Amino acid sequence: MKLGGLVQSRQVIVTCGAGGVGKTTSSAAMALAAARCGRRALVLTIDPARRLAQALGIPPTGSTPVHIDASILGKVGITLPPGGELHAWMLDPRVVLESVVDRFAPNPEMATKIRKTKLYGALSEVMAGLQEYTAAEALYEFVETGRYDLIVLDTPPSRNALDFLDAPRRLTRFLDERTLSMFAPAEQQASAIVRAASKVVMGALSKAFGETFTHDLQEFLGAFGTLFGKMRIHAEGVRNLLRSDKSVFIVLASPELGAVEEAMFFQRRIAELGLVSRGFVLNRSYATDRDLAKPADLVAGAPSKDVARALAKLGPLATIEAARAEEHRLVLARLETASKSGGGDGAMALPYLDQAIDDLPALEALSTTILANV
């Protein structure tokens, strides 16, 4: 897989993977690699660990993406070419939802009315999948506005992360006018059958939750229902975007067996959603260490007996390192085979870094490796 080529040519990269594989840092490194190629890049994370904020020195919350200033990058020797920009945002579903309401409401008064309903603040509890939908909506909006050449979406480190990929489709199933008509005021229901069914539904809700809650729910859905048609159309647009050539899905893994199995799960789940995982990235790996000298050769070429004895004592450690590198190469080969059998382009390895991986120098090192893979 040529990850360097992808960061230079695609508009959307979605990264998936288990927790602890360095997905957030790798996502930031992909965005930095794109910026180093003169592209306007945004890394968008819904990872609750907030690691990206530490790596890039940005606040953990905010209403808009943050531009990483060139002076900050310059302090660690990173210089971007003309046109190159790096942006980052810790996705806040509440901010995105407000943006959806403002854009889709027929007028500012209706938008205000929707936000004042009692159930608006608990919307994610009312409609399953809406929180994931806001992530998809934010991604789609940024693509539509053309503000960025590349958006790297870092999904949460759990199997449920892929709910994000299916959220638009699940939301369209929920946002059905025939269902919502049950909650509309009686004067807005044109059919006697609908009015009769609505009376039964509202009566059952009143018995189960009380008249106050039922009234609040009816008021909320009555106000918010004006948005649903537009949201359903937009949701289909999100799914079409994710299935288009503009987007690519990358699954990250580490050499540990559990992480590899999780990566295989993500590949299968992406396929179940009618999408294609472009390939795997084996992170924190020694798979690229192919030119390690053999301990015996070093001992034989030692300049003195003292050096030879010291190297001989270190020989067992070198043997362990060589065995680990070979083990990681076997894991990389397994991922390569799995990717190509699923219609992907293979796998690549990102190096294990001895230094902390939550700083800009580490991101620079990873981005350099990514750009070398074209």
Residue 314 lies in a domain: no
CB-CB contact of 88 with 65 (8 Å): yes
Residue recorded with tokens 């959307």? 12
Amino acid at 342: G
Q: Tell whether 305 is covered by a domain.
A: no
Q: Which residue, 276, 271, 272, is CA-closest to 248?
A: 276
Rounded to the nearest 10°, the torsion over CA 277, 282, 288, 292 is -150
Residue 62 lies in a domain: yes
In this predicted model, which residue has the larger pLDDT, 342 or 119? 342
Alpha-carbon gap, residue 277 to 270, rounded angstroms: 7
60 falls within a domain: yes
Domain that holds residue 92: 3-175+228-289+328-371
Residue 136 lies in a domain: yes
Which of 214-223, 271-280, 353-362 is predicted most confidently? 271-280
- Percent of the chain residues topping a pLDDT of 70: 69
Better-scored residue on pLDDT, 12 or 197 = 12
* CA–CA dist 50, 306 (Å, integer): 50
Please indicate, yes or no, if residue 162 is contained in any of the structural domains: yes
In the chain, the largest separation of any two C-alpha atoms, in whole Å, equals 100
Cβ contacts of 198 within 8 Å, gap of 6 or more: 181, 182, 183, 184, 186, 189
pLDDT higher at 299 or 309 = 309
Q: Is residue 210 part of a domain?
A: no
pLDDT tens-digit map of 249-266: 999 999 998 999 999 999
For the stretch 119-132, pLDDT in tens is 676 655 555 455 56
Model pLDDT, residue 167 = 59
Domain count, the chain: 1
In this predicted structure, the answer to whether residue 74 has a pLDDT above a threshold of 70 is: yes
Average pLDDT for the chain: 79
* pLDDT confidence bin for 238, thresholds 50/70/90: confident
Find the CATH number of the domain harbouring 56: 3.40.50.300
276 in any annotated domain: yes
The pTM assigned to this predicted structure is 0.79
Q: How far is CA 138 from CA 97, 157, 197, in A?
A: 9, 19, 36
